[in-house]
Chains A and B, each alone.
Chain A
Amino acid sequence: MKKKWFDLKIFREGFRQLSLMALAFLGILLLTSLISILQQPLSRHGISITPRVPQLMSPLSLQPLIAISFCLTAPFLTLKAFRFTTERRGSDFYHALPQRRECLFLSLLGAAFAWVMLILAASALVSGVAASCFPAYYRFSWADLLQYNLVILLISLYVAAVTACGTFLSGTVFSNVLVSLLLLFAPRIIIHTITGCIADQSFMLDRNFLPFPYRINLFSDFVYSFLNSGDSRLYGRSLFHWGRILYTFFALILWVGAGAFLARKRKSEAAEVPVANPRVRALVRITLAFLVWLIPLRSLLVHEHYSSFDYGIFGLFILLAFFGYELLATRNLKSLRKSLPSFGILLILCLGSLFFCRGCMRMAENWQPEAADIQHVRIMDSRDYYYMEDNSLFSSRIEETRITDKEVHRLVAELLKKTPARVNPGYAYHISAIHTKYTISKTIAIKSGLVERYRTILLEDKEMEALSAALSKDEAFVKAYMELPDEKDSGIVVESIIRPDEDNKAALQIYRSLKEEVKEIGFTEWFNMQNNPISRDSSASIGLQSNRQGLSSRASFTISKKLPRTWALYQQLWAEANRQNRDKLIGWIDRALAGEESGTELRIQGASDINIRAFNSSTGEDIVGYVTTFAYPDGTGVLKEGQLKKLRDILSGLSLPAGLEPEYYGPVQIDVSAYNNEEDLNCMFTGETFPEGLRELLNP
């Protein structure tokens, strides 16, 4: 008789059994998505937030709680589908069914998979449709949303498959959860900590020193990104990485296969027994104790100073994890004696890991390829410049650029050889290890042979100049710097602090001018302008929002005087906008005065708040701090009619600067911001002296 691997009737029954829980999860996802999307359009009717350019929505912004799909939905549905493994009556019922165990496993797992798929599909569809209803507020890509959800689906199925394996390795709900968590996280925590221990011993290494991505698993990468920074850029980067997608897909297949194997091998009497198999139990207790060992391991390797007492406490925790688990699982003191041999294995593993980390660090540090062996290098900019954080669009383009110029390779190989001697020994990963002479560090991905390795090099100023000069000859690198994104691209939004007009004309005009002028000034000037914070000699800037393949990124380009045309245009447009804002503010006050009725108190109709700050434009010292004139219902803090008239007269008499830069300001700068239910506006005034009338008005 032909072996049956999947039964539609069991699948349907499993699907039905999971429906209540699945619909609850679907409800949560849909609700959070809708709230997140509707929040902005609805709030604009009540709270004053000025409409700006449409927000580029990453899939994560559209489905903010999508992570529950694999954090909660997939594991809980799987635990429910295989609930029978934890209770004897259910175990009897399901194991007596006229089906092979693999068929039962695959059909029920299929039911959990189907729900996860449905939930994600429904969530993506509803979020997408809802966001499409507000084109003035949101812009997003259906393709990105689809791809993102497919990747989340892959992660969710992976988690479901691992959880299913966990259920077939144990026999109570608690042990199901514990074993599943260990299967999901223990390998990642071990790899992550061990690589960290190796990398932290040397300044030159970072966690990517391994010849393969240590966060290749999408699930752990996502969780790591989330815990580490909550940075959506990281989600995007990892989620659309084909290597990671393929790895996770094959891992999913393997886990499903392993689950089917375990379902076949598992004894039905294991239900209600925490972990019946003594070998699995040994593996669990060794893993738990080894995870505890990783804490002192790191401190032993990087010379963090724990006291003997601290190490004693760690030792106790290791013993507690090892024997405590055994005692909990078996509730039999005799089993402790039986578990002693595996304690020996734990000791060997602990000592082995210590030597392994040391050895790996030495090997990695000694890896110094010749220039001729280097195929390409990539400059990992975002790792070195904190101020590049707001420039992720730009830095990610640079990081993706493979530099093949031989001179760059030669310099990198040379610097790689010099760097170990530039680091003070004994202080390995501490920043104090770096000699003050070498102020610049660069993390570089170096491809030599089949794999890429990441190393951090230390440079002097002269060496940096030489490297920049060499980089300027690399066509791909120059192109990455010089070719700014097309503003007509639907995945790009140009933004500026200048109040956007209907078509965002001002920002687009400045950006177009910038693009043209960048070409004219050439690579070196532009490269230095973007890389050297000191060269940012202007407070004018233009920003870009980008959203591609779930990767949200931004760029902020300083408009320096080295770009004279763009700089002048920026000042001109800014001054124009400032003037319009002033007129509008005066108009609000006039309207308020015209609507006067009470005679004693005046509510500022149309301008509920006005904030005024006056300060010395050269020293930045406050003349009058922030003053808020609120229109409280009881009338307190509200400017009286006379005061408002006075304020109008003073503001009308103040001069407006011809541009944003300090050179356009007199000794005194006065910033006024106001907002009402429709919009907010900011206006800057300048003068030779602070108008005393204003001081009296604000500080009566």
Chain B
Amino acid sequence: MIETINLTKRFNDFTALNRVSCRIPKGSIYGMVGTNGAGKSTFLRAVTGIYRPEEGSATVDGQPVYENPAVKNRLLFLPDELFFLAGANMNRMADCYEAFYPRFDKERFRFLSENFRLDPNRPLRSFSKGMRRQASIILALSCHPDYYFFDETFDGLDPVMRRLVKNLILEEVAEREATAIITSHSLRELEDTCDQLALLHEGGLLLQSDVQDLRTSLFKLQLAFSEPFDRSRFAGIDMLHYEQIGSVAHLIIRGNQEETLARLRIMNPLLLNLVPLSLEEVFTYEMKQLGYSFEDVFGHEKEA
């Protein structure tokens, strides 16, 4: 398990991570979303021991990470900006990884290279951006770490490759009980892959939750009554959002779905529809509760 307590990282006067506390269970896929500059990469670098935090701690299975080779041996960080040796091809990089990571598996490297249809003898500088990304993923997956840290890893991959990489990560988690922490600025990118999701904004962790809990904790209802009504009619129900257009009201409710429906049925509504909520909508309402607007945090994604 990865645990951070009040993890803080500053760059001169700028606080990139502000007292971030979280727990990432072993064998899970943990997604971290946030805009550019939210602190996602800084978080990964602080947790993998690249950055020395100014305050707080980051531990893996109870052991501090920074300057702890025994722990770092079980981690692999794949940054957003990829590192390759000058003039190297994939085979040369594999040799390099083999020298640095004791668990590096050459057989798996060869297998994955074939699967991705990449020529390991071709210079990496002749690869496209997406191919270089694939090469780095192959190298990372061949290291067999216990903890993967993927920083914006799906960027530059086409949908087919994205699916393939996601499947490989899922396979690692399922078969080896590996843990993967994946960051992205896109919520949609992560919602189908991650068990847990966290939202990072301006260096702070706004929320984190199990994806399943998130999906079931909020639900949307469409209601209509024959007589005139207003918001006061639903007093006692934990409502995150209320909107009424004519005689039809839309409610976003937190709580037990069955109990709430039973309670509303007693009111003899003309219309009572349960409308499915996307994860994005869940985030929107949860953030509104915390005083943030989704547009501020994911403005570009909403527009997209």
Q: A residues engaging B (CB < 8 A)?
A: 1, 4, 9-10, 12-13, 16-17, 88-93, 95-101, 103, 264, 267-269
Q: Mark B28-65, 1 if CB is under 8 A from A, else 0.
A: 00000000000000000100111110000000000000
Check B110 for interface membership: any CB of A closer than 8 A.
Answer: no
Closest 6 CB pairs of A and B: A98-B73, A93-B83, A98-B72, A13-B99, A89-B83, A89-B81
The residues of A that contact B95 with a CB separation of less than 8 Å are 13, 16
Residues B98-130 near A (CB distance < 8 A):
99-102
The residues of A that contact B75 with a CB separation of less than 8 Å are 96, 98
- Give 25 A-B contacts (CB < 8 Å), ordered by A residue: A1-B70, A9-B99, A9-B100, A13-B95, A13-B96, A13-B99, A17-B85, A88-B81, A92-B50, A92-B77, A92-B81, A92-B83, A95-B49, A95-B50, A96-B49, A96-B77, A97-B100, A99-B69, A99-B72, A100-B67, A100-B69, A101-B67, A267-B51, A267-B52, A269-B11
Bound form: Cα–Cα A17–B85 in Å? 8
Taking a contact as CB atoms under 8 Å apart, the answer to whether A13 and B100 are in contact is yes
Bound form: Cα–Cα A685–B45 in Å? 90
Taking a contact as CB atoms under 8 Å apart, the answer to whether A98 and B101 are in contact is yes
Taking a contact as CB atoms under 8 Å apart, the answer to whether B99 and A268 are in contact is no
Q: B residues engaging A (CB < 8 A)?
A: 11, 45, 48-52, 67, 69-70, 72-73, 75-77, 79, 81-83, 85, 95-96, 99-102
Bound form: Cα–Cα A91–B11 in Å? 16
Bound form: Cα–Cα A285–B95 in Å? 42
The residues of A that contact B70 with a CB separation of less than 8 Å are 1, 98
The residues of B that contact A13 with a CB separation of less than 8 Å are 95-96, 99-100
The residues of A that contact B67 with a CB separation of less than 8 Å are 100-101, 264
Bound form: Cα–Cα A88–B50 in Å? 11
The residues of B that contact A100 with a CB separation of less than 8 Å are 67, 69
User: Known contacts being A4-B69, A100-B67, is A268 close to B101, with CB within 8 Å?
Assistant: no
Considering the complex, give the chain B residue whose CB is closest to the CB of A95: B50
Bound form: Cα–Cα A89–B41 in Å? 12
The residues of A that contact B83 with a CB separation of less than 8 Å are 89-90, 92-93
Bound form: Cα–Cα A92–B83 in Å? 8
Contacts A10-B100, A98-B100, A268-B45 known; 4 new A-B pairs at CB < 8 A: A88-B81, A90-B83, A92-B79, A96-B76
Instruction: Give chain A nearest CB distance to B73 CB in angstroms.
Output: 4
The residues of B that contact A99 with a CB separation of less than 8 Å are 69, 72, 100
Considering the complex, give the chain A residue whose CB is closest to the CB of B45: A92
The residues of A that contact B76 with a CB separation of less than 8 Å are 96
Considering the complex, give the chain B residue whose CB is closest to the CB of A17: B85
The residues of B that contact A92 with a CB separation of less than 8 Å are 45, 50, 77, 79, 81, 83
Bound form: Cα–Cα A93–B72 in Å? 12
User: Known contacts being A1-B70, A99-B69, A101-B67, is A89 close to B82, with CB within 8 Å?
Assistant: yes
Q: Which of A16, A91, A93, A98 contacts B69 (CB 8 A)?
A: A98
Centre residue among A4, A95, A98 by max chain B CB count within 10 A? A98
Instruction: Give chain A nearest CB distance to B2 CB in angstroms.
Output: 15
User: Known contacts being A13-B96, A89-B83, is A97 close to B52, with CB within 8 Å?
Assistant: no
Instruction: Give chain A nearest CB distance to B264 CB in angstroms.
Output: 53
Instruction: Give chain B nearest CB distance to A477 CB in angstroms.
Output: 62
The residues of B that contact A95 with a CB separation of less than 8 Å are 49-50
Bound form: Cα–Cα A13–B75 in Å? 20
Bound form: Cα–Cα A22–B83 in Å? 23
Taking a contact as CB atoms under 8 Å apart, the answer to whether A96 and B51 are in contact is no
Considering the complex, give the chain B residue whose CB is closest to the CB of A96: B77
Taking a contact as CB atoms under 8 Å apart, the answer to whether B69 and A89 are in contact is no
Bound form: Cα–Cα A92–B70 in Å? 18
Bound form: Cα–Cα A97–B67 in Å? 10
Bound form: Cα–Cα A642–B131 in Å? 87
The residues of A that contact B50 with a CB separation of less than 8 Å are 91-92, 95-96, 268
Bound form: Cα–Cα A13–B96 in Å? 6
Bound form: Cα–Cα A9–B49 in Å? 21
Instruction: Give chain B nearest CB distance to A90 CB in angstroms.
Output: 6
The residues of B that contact A93 with a CB separation of less than 8 Å are 79, 83
Bound form: Cα–Cα A96–B96 in Å? 14
The residues of A that contact B73 with a CB separation of less than 8 Å are 98
Instruction: Give chain A nearest CB distance to B15 CB in angstroms.
Output: 13
The residues of A that contact B11 with a CB separation of less than 8 Å are 269
The residues of A that contact B96 with a CB separation of less than 8 Å are 13
Considering the complex, give the chain B residue whose CB is closest to the CB of A103: B69
Instruction: Give chain B nearest CB distance to A329 CB in angstroms.
Output: 13
The residues of A that contact B85 with a CB separation of less than 8 Å are 17
The residues of A that contact B79 with a CB separation of less than 8 Å are 89, 92-93
Taking a contact as CB atoms under 8 Å apart, the answer to whether A96 and B99 are in contact is no
Instruction: Give chain B nearest CB distance to A144 CB in angstroms.
Output: 40
The residues of A that contact B48 with a CB separation of less than 8 Å are 96
